Structure 1
Amino acid sequence: MADLSLSHRILFLNTLAFTICFACWTLNGVLVTFLVDKEIFDWNVVQIGWLLGIPVLTGSIMRLPIGILTDKYGGKIIFSVLLLLCSIPLFLLPFANSFWSFAVLSFFFGLVGTSFAVGIGYTSIWYPKEWQGRALGIFGMGNAGAAITTFIAPTLLNNFSEKDPVNGWKMLPIIYGASLVIIGLLFIVFAKNRTNQGVSKNMSELLSPLKKTRVWRFGTYYFLVFGFFVAYSQWLLPNFMNVYGTTLVMGGMFATMFSLPSGIIRAFGGYLSDKFGARKVMYWVLGSSIIISFLLMFPKMEIFTAGPGVLASNNGTVTEIAADKIVVSGKVHQITAKKKTDTENNAVFPVKNYWQEIVVKQNQEVKKKELLARGITQINFSANLWVYLVLVILIGISWGIGKAAVYKHIPEYFPNEIGVVGGMVGLIGGLGGFFGPIIFGYLLDYTGLWTSSWIFIFILSVLCLLWMHRTIIKAMRKKSPDFTRHIEDH
């Protein structure tokens, strides 16, 4: 085993490269939102969803083969080639002038998403077993690269567009491409190559663990906690701008407040999984995901419905009508007038208001129990911005802990196939980042509700928890049938 100073240098380079790659991977979240907001391109919500998801698709489906190549040829070679190659489509992006040209270039620069598979394999072979958890936890914090894009990119786009409103945006992908070139050159100069000597299996042996249901179950957890972390890192910006009318920069700051803690806390998630067990942590993560997504799925809304009306208490003639009363043959019926209510975004809970509208006329003959004034109830829910933001941050933190807990499972169940299983779980998780914005786009288009995405998260979280709990109960019954029968008897 090499001395730790060299290992730490490799870890630093890996984490730096992964952070920059993750920033590039989520670039479209800010860039596409900006281009549509400034009417530079006229893309609909479904096309936007595809453009947010395409880079994530490439980075996901290529994780497994790139991970295998890393084991075989070494992280220095693969990372250097990856960084330099992915800079090319970014340098070409300013020349894109249509949805399809933007989509094709996004597909190719999306390969930066495979940096996770490269870094995991390249980091692990430089550390002894007792350092693995800490080293991989530190490397995984590169997820916070999503926060770099949501925090810095909106300000850069605004600055570039001051002088040239139509073409100013083209500087941003050039800066991102140049960053990849610089990191690639750093790898060539300062990194040292090392390959995994144990890789000699043929393809069928390598992929044999994928026949096990457990791999797909772990992948489903990761589909939620990682995939939709990536999806929301991009989706939250247009969400804040459309629902709460924030600026691009303010919306970017709020999206950063979701992605930054979620990326950084991954190392803490590894610590919790070591101390309390990954399964217990996943119960907490999925449970909190269900509760928070349930609270987030209520949209801004104003509901009008029938309220308590006023009925005539006797037969007679309407002799007087005023704003606050109706008199029928000497009998006074009180009327509730409409009050002014504050419907601004400052209420945490729904605000109720009700009043009555008179439906009879002067000198009209009425019978007992006949409707004199129709009741109207108005319920206004402002979906307070700050409450929404806090809940979004909390679900991001929960998913950040969950990302580490899922990967804690893998060496416990597949100690000799960590690379392949980890690559497949990462692939399935990455597909969540691809399908997320597309699903959200179609749901928004169909329902007209921005919160429809949280309804989807709620359902997925419930399904994950039920699958995990059912699997655990099934395993307990198999191992201790007498004990489980004893519980059921009581």
Structure 2
Amino acid sequence: MSTPRRGSAAAGPRQTEASEPAATGGRPWLMLAVATLGFAVNFWAWALLSPLAPRLRDALDLSSFQQALLVAVPVLVGSLGRIPVGALTDRFGGRVMFPLVSLTTIVPVLYLGFAGHTSLAGLLVGGFFLGVGGTAFAVGVPFVNAWFPPERRGLAVGVFGAGMGGTAVSALTTVKLVTASGTPTPFVVTAIVLALYAGLAWLLLRDAPGRAIPAEPLSRRLAATARLRITWQASVLYAVVFGGYVAFSVYLPAYLKTSYGLAQADAANRMAGFVLLAVLMRPIGGWLSDRLGPVRVLAVSLLVVAVGATVQAFTPGLAPLGTIAFLSMAAALGAGSGATFALVAQHAPANKVGSVTGVVGAAGGLGGFVPPLVMGAVYGQYGSYAIGLTALAAVALGTLLLTVTVVARNSTPPAAAKTRGAARNVRKGTTAHV
């Protein structure tokens, strides 16, 4: 670990280059496991409306655009909310913020289960506050980042990112529970799980010793974060790779039901398969980034997305070509998401990781907010999803070009980063233990 000397002119006692964990052994991995569980549970809650969207459309006679808006509102709020939540996590730590976010999410979950699902207005209000669950991502990244040394952060943050599989839990269970026991059931179950997790997090989570705690006011920190090059580069990348994942995870059931005539349960199961593959690929993307560099992983991921979206724009048969296209995109979006935060872990200042994560996470969520609305509007106007999928391919190609030029030029390969970090430690008189 890296321990700054007391009284260093470069850093005060509370605002240090705390980029190395202050503990060894298995404790960082325990913290990672509990944080990942929290991310999954909150994402489960965040995604409760998506599997029910076709049922709610039929029950409330919603248009395609209204259905898309219904599932997009939690995404929007969960995305924008990551900016203040990430900055608050820098200041108060994950031990406080994880239970707080989880307990707050219980309120809209219960409201939707017992009252809010009977009208579009109620669903939009409940969905707005349900977005709080989506901010858990901005809590976990800085929390996990502080527990691991730089050369392991790609893998660690990738493993944490696998908690987005909570959306798969929602896809696999929500419709079945509603069918078996009524609409309130999945919401009550999720609220209980959130409460149990909040208690578990308070008992087990501890912030990394020596983590960087900013002293500046929130507004000044956010302004400084906005001036960082890594903030905007990673935001563009994450808006495409994670935004694409979010868009498909919330809109895929409606797409499959409309384009291929699948039953609601079958469409939800296939969406769960998409999500699970993306989840598995996220830590792999982080692991590959530790070894090959995040730019290379991102470039390949974006190319695969562009090809897959182009193929799917022609609405090929679901077996096998359509399935291959969707699963390829799932794998690429998952790996690209892991690689993006490997890039953040390499280049964000230690005491601004939460703030950078908040902005980048917001961009990713906003990237997922827009496509469902576009797809719904385009289908309502033209009766086809081809235009939306073609636009996705074009955006992926444009982002690929940005990655191999601007991002690559401003990024440091992992080996060089380690060498530079070792030199800095020698100058400061520190000792590294990994």
- Report TM bin, short chain: 0.7 to 0.9
Encode CA deviations 1:69-128: one digit per residue, 9 max, x unaligned. 122122122111111111011111121221111101111111111111111122223334
Aligned counterpart, 1:17: 38
Encode CA deviations 1:287-314: one digit per residue, 9 max, x unaligned. 1111111111013xxxxxxxxxxxxxxx
**8 Å CA contact retained: 1:74, 1:193:** yes
Q: How does 1:332-411 map to 2 (within 5 A)?
A: 383-411=317-345
- The one-letter amino acid paired with 1:89 is P
Q: 1:86 aligns with which of 89, 99, 105?
A: 105
Q: Number of paired residues?
A: 385
> How far 1:222 moved relative to its partner?
0.8
Aligned counterpart, 1:375: none
**8 Å CA contact retained: 1:53, 1:436:** no
Distance 2:156 2:342 in 1: 13
Q: 1:419 aligns with which of 354, 360, 366?
A: 354
Q: 1:95 aligns with which of 115, 122, 140?
A: 115
Aligned counterpart, 2:386: 451
**8 Å CA contact retained: 2:157, 2:341:** no
The structure that is helix-richer by fraction is 2
> How far 1:55 moved relative to its partner?
0.6
Aligned counterpart, 1:441: 376
Name the SS for the 2:170 alignment partner: helix
Encode CA deviations 1:347-404: one digit per residue, 9 max, x unaligned. xxxxxxxxxxxxxxxxxxxxxxxxxxxxxxxxxxx63443212210111101111112
Give % identity: 26
Evaluate the alpha carbon distance shift between residue 414 and residue 76 of structure 1 in structure 2; reply closer, same or farther with a 3 A threshold: closer
Aligned counterpart, 2:80: 61
Q: 2:293 aligns with which of 274, 277, 287?
A: 277
Distance 1:393 1:141 in 2: 16
Distance 1:239 1:113 in 2: 23
Name the SS for the 2:300 alignment partner: helix
Aligned counterpart, 1:200: 215
Aligned counterpart, 1:77: 96
Provide structure 1 residue ranges, at least 5 long, that are not aligned to the other structure: 161-167, 300-381, 477-490
**8 Å CA contact retained: 1:89, 1:105:** yes
Name the SS for the 1:198 alignment partner: coil
Aligned counterpart, 1:296: 312
Q: Does 1:185 align with 2:204?
A: no
Distance 1:256 1:8 in 2: 27
Distance 2:408 2:33 in 1: 42
Distance 2:122 2:320 in 1: 38
- The one-letter amino acid paired with 1:95 is A
**8 Å CA contact retained: 1:75, 1:119:** yes
> How far 1:130 moved relative to its partner?
4.8
Aligned counterpart, 2:226: 210
Query: TM-score, normalization: structure 1?
Result: 0.74
Aligned counterpart, 2:247: 231
Which protein has greater RCO, CA pairs closer than 8 Å, 6+ apart? 2
**8 Å CA contact retained: 2:139, 2:354:** no
Distance 1:18 1:440 in 2: 28
The structure that is strand-richer by fraction is 1
Aligned counterpart, 1:242: 258
Q: Which is worse superposed, 466-475 or 239-248?
A: 466-475
Q: How does 1:290-329 map to 2 (within 5 A)?
A: 290-299=306-315
- The one-letter amino acid paired with 1:256 is A
Q: 2:176 aligns with which of 147, 155, 158?
A: 155
Encode CA deviations 1:222-244: one digit per residue, 9 max, x unaligned. 11110120110111111111222
> How far 1:208 moved relative to its partner?
2.1
Evaluate the alpha carbon distance shift between residue 473 and residue 146 of structure 1 in structure 2; reply closer, same or farther with a 3 A threshold: closer
Evaluate the alpha carbon distance shift between residue 211 and residue 241 of structure 1 in structure 2; reply closer, same or farther with a 3 A threshold: same
**8 Å CA contact retained: 1:19, 1:144:** yes
The structure with the largest alpha-carbon Rg is: 1
Aligned counterpart, 1:303: none
Name the SS for the 1:81 alignment partner: helix
**8 Å CA contact retained: 1:143, 1:264:** no
Distance 2:206 2:360 in 1: 28
Q: CA RMSD in A?
A: 2.2
Distance 1:173 1:429 in 2: 26
Distance 1:410 1:124 in 2: 10
**8 Å CA contact retained: 2:99, 2:202:** yes
